A and B are shown apart, each in its own frame.
Chain A
Amino acid sequence: MGYFSNIYHGIRTLLTGMRVTGKYFLNARKGAITQQYPDNRDTLKMFERFRGEVVMPHDENNEHSCTGCQKCELACPNGSIEIIWDRVIDPETGKKKKAIDQHIYHFGMCTQCGLCVDACPSDAIKWAQNFENSVYDRTQLTRILNKPGSKVRAGVEE
């Protein structure tokens, strides 16, 4: 190729690329995927399966469905879940029954793999969709999932 045809070819390829970017420059708003994150907090909705953090839902009577079977504790690969449990006497049957004292969740160690929620037989724990997890001190990442004074819902068996 000659000297001038080289220059012509070079400029042409650059202009071809410029045409692509120019098209988007003129239609900047069309098809934009950028989310205006801190401003769109009110409308931002995460997908329902998004794995943010593990929570234990309680109903209005302050009851959860965790029986203390410890399957989540066993399933967890990195020891993020720790269950302190005891046997208490069931007032109806008079038999001793396993019940949780504290369901401790070390969020700082959690890799959000989802094995604990998958392993839970009574759907006592599930994923919450919040993702703003910055705290000033890592001790705040250790959470006790069952609320104070809560107990297991009647009828939930292991």
Chain B
Amino acid sequence: METAVLNSTTVKKSNFKSEEYFINMGPQHPATHGVLRLLLTIDGEIIKKVEPDLGYIHRSIEKMSESNSYQQIVHLTDRLDYLSSHINNEAVCLCVENALELEVPERVKVIRTILGELTRIASHTLWWGVMGMDVGALTTYFYGFRDREMINDIFEETCGARLTMNYNIPGGLMQDIHPNFVKRVKEFIPHFRSKLPEYDRLLTGNIIFQKRTKGVGVLSREDAINFGASGPVARASGYSCDVRKYHPYSALDKVNFTEALDTAGDSFARYKVRIAEMWESLNIIEQLIDNIPEGDFKVATNAVIKLPKGDFYQKVETARGEFGVYIISTGNKNPYRVKFRSPGLSNLSLLNHIAVGGKIGDLVATMATIDIVVPDIDR
């Protein structure tokens, strides 16, 4: 009787060693930042294997794009990496503009760059708050959101929305910037300059935080390249890959900034790179905010945009890494195929590589520094 019950259980015992067991992390786990399910094989507290299971928030945005016009695709990219929605919008618009060989006014380029860098700061402040929360420091969450609120107000006043802006259109911007825009950004820069050292005092120097992140989740430069990592994750491993530096778009070729790099490759290095990026973004905005050229905020395009036959690619640097838009056109008003290269998927793929051998608590810290946004991964 006893043996019959054991044999009827469906667990494949042969796959596991006697002391290893399997647990689900997610899909409704607060530390996975969305509906990401991780299948963990653990031995006590030590992680033996991490398998991400995707598909919980798949909305088939690439397929939907095939039945939408080029103006309509833009608003779908808000819903990929929602924390850098403005930069995603910009990528689609640049791709369409390149295909049409349309030259947008200088004013548009400068405004797009300023808004893009503000988006990066907003994303990184949110990440900083959540990062602290993931390792047990709830205070950072409120401090990060306090500063992000100022940027959200700037967005709301100029773009009309706080998160899914949809301010870019192929050919320029939907409206001109609000008269208060320059004033508000100028208020924000010194405010945030005074708050960033506070971030360091509060969290960076904290001994508990350092013990949790230093030497945890180490990623070597070779692995960063092999896994296709990009953004702060790759740059923390010493792999210089900033799209803004190597393939400047919009007004980024006119500004001076240094690419934030680190060589340690651990969670703490990724943290430091993001903090350094916030400083650099402030520098970029400061160089541009006083010299927004006069001019039109858009160039007229046809009501129905038809791209020439061919395939077009444009990549930009979002807050998480390299975001690419690949459009194949057959000359119709709808694209034949759209592919989004999202930074989140490549960055997630290396999670198994760097988390194995660590503790479960370290996995949370590692995931926080990879900065996962699940809708970006699942699309």
> Which residues of B lie under 8 Å from residue A118 when comparing CB positions?
169, 174
> Which residues of A lie under 8 Å from residue B202 when comparing CB positions?
17, 20-21
Interchain CA distance A14-B208 in the complex, whole Å: 8
- CB-nearest residue of chain B relative to A127? B160
Q: Provided the pairs A9-B207, A49-B175 are in contact, do residues A17 and B76 lie with their beta carbons within 8 angstroms?
A: no
Q: How extensive is the interface on chain B, given as a class?
A: 20 to 34
Do the beta carbons of B75 and A33 come within 8 Å of each other?
A: no
- Hey, what's the 0/1 contact readout for A14-49 against B, CB within 8 Å counting as 1? 101101110000000000010000000000001101
Do the beta carbons of B164 and A112 come within 8 Å of each other?
A: yes
Task: Answer yes or no: A114 CB below 8 A from chain B CBs.
Answer: yes
Do the beta carbons of B160 and A115 come within 8 Å of each other?
A: no
Out of B169, B178, B207, which one reaches A14, CB within 8 Å?
B207
Do the beta carbons of A75 and B71 come within 8 Å of each other?
A: yes
- Hey, what's the 0/1 contact readout for B169-200 against A, CB within 8 Å counting as 1? 10000110010000000000000000000100
Do the beta carbons of A17 and B201 come within 8 Å of each other?
A: yes
CB distance from B184 to the nearest CB of A (A): 11
Task: Answer yes or no: B149 CB below 8 A from chain A CBs.
Answer: yes
Task: Answer yes or no: A108 CB below 8 A from chain B CBs.
Answer: no
Task: Answer yes or no: B206 CB below 8 A from chain A CBs.
Answer: yes
CB distance from B47 to the nearest CB of A (A): 27
Out of A13, A75, A111, A114, which one reaches B160, CB within 8 Å?
A114
Task: Answer yes or no: B68 CB below 8 A from chain A CBs.
Answer: yes
Out of A13, A111, A113, A114, which one reaches B206, CB within 8 Å?
A13
Q: Provided the pairs A49-B175, A51-B160 are in contact, do residues A13 and B166 lie with their beta carbons within 8 angstroms?
A: no
Out of A13, A19, A49, A113, which one reaches B178, CB within 8 Å?
A49
Task: Answer yes or no: B301 CB below 8 A from chain A CBs.
Answer: no
Out of B75, B158, B205, which one reaches A49, CB within 8 Å?
B158
Interface residues of B in 196-222 (CB under 8 A from A): 198, 201-203, 205-208
Do the beta carbons of B174 and A114 come within 8 Å of each other?
A: yes
Q: Provided the pairs A75-B71, A115-B71 are in contact, do residues A50 and B207 lie with their beta carbons within 8 angstroms?
A: no
- For the A-B complex, the count of residue pairs with Cβ-Cβ distances under 8 Å equals 70
Interchain CA distance A20-B205 in the complex, whole Å: 12
For chain A, the count of residues having a C-beta within 8 Å of the partner chain is: 26
Do the beta carbons of A51 and B161 come within 8 Å of each other?
A: yes
Out of B78, B159, B175, B203, which one reaches A17, CB within 8 Å?
B203
Do the beta carbons of B201 and A16 come within 8 Å of each other?
A: yes
Do the beta carbons of B149 and A33 come within 8 Å of each other?
A: yes
Do the beta carbons of A115 and B156 come within 8 Å of each other?
A: no
Do the beta carbons of B205 and A13 come within 8 Å of each other?
A: yes
Interchain CA distance A127-B161 in the complex, whole Å: 12
Task: Answer yes or no: B146 CB below 8 A from chain A CBs.
Answer: yes
Interchain CA distance A33-B146 in the complex, whole Å: 7
- CB-nearest residue of chain A relative to B147? A33
Interchain CA distance A33-B188 in the complex, whole Å: 14
> Which residues of B lie under 8 Å from residue A51 when comparing CB positions?
160-161
Interchain CA distance A118-B176 in the complex, whole Å: 12
Do the beta carbons of B156 and A50 come within 8 Å of each other?
A: yes
Interface residues of A in 85-133 (CB under 8 A from B): 111-115, 118-119, 127
> Which residues of B lie under 8 Å from residue A10 when comparing CB positions?
207
CB distance from B70 to the nearest CB of A (A): 11
Do the beta carbons of A111 and B75 come within 8 Å of each other?
A: yes
- CB-nearest residue of chain A relative to B210? A13
> Which residues of A lie under 8 Å from residue B158 when comparing CB positions?
49
Interchain CA distance A6-B314 in the complex, whole Å: 51
Interchain CA distance A33-B174 in the complex, whole Å: 29
Query: Would you list 16 pairs from A and B whose C-beta atoms are within 8 A, ordered by A residue?
Result: A9-B207, A13-B206, A14-B206, A17-B202, A17-B206, A47-B156, A47-B178, A49-B156, A49-B175, A50-B160, A51-B160, A51-B161, A77-B68, A114-B160, A115-B166, A127-B160
User: Which residues of chain A have a CB within 8 Å of any CB of chain B?
Assistant: 9-10, 13-14, 16-17, 19-21, 33, 46-47, 49-51, 71, 75, 77, 111-115, 118-119, 127
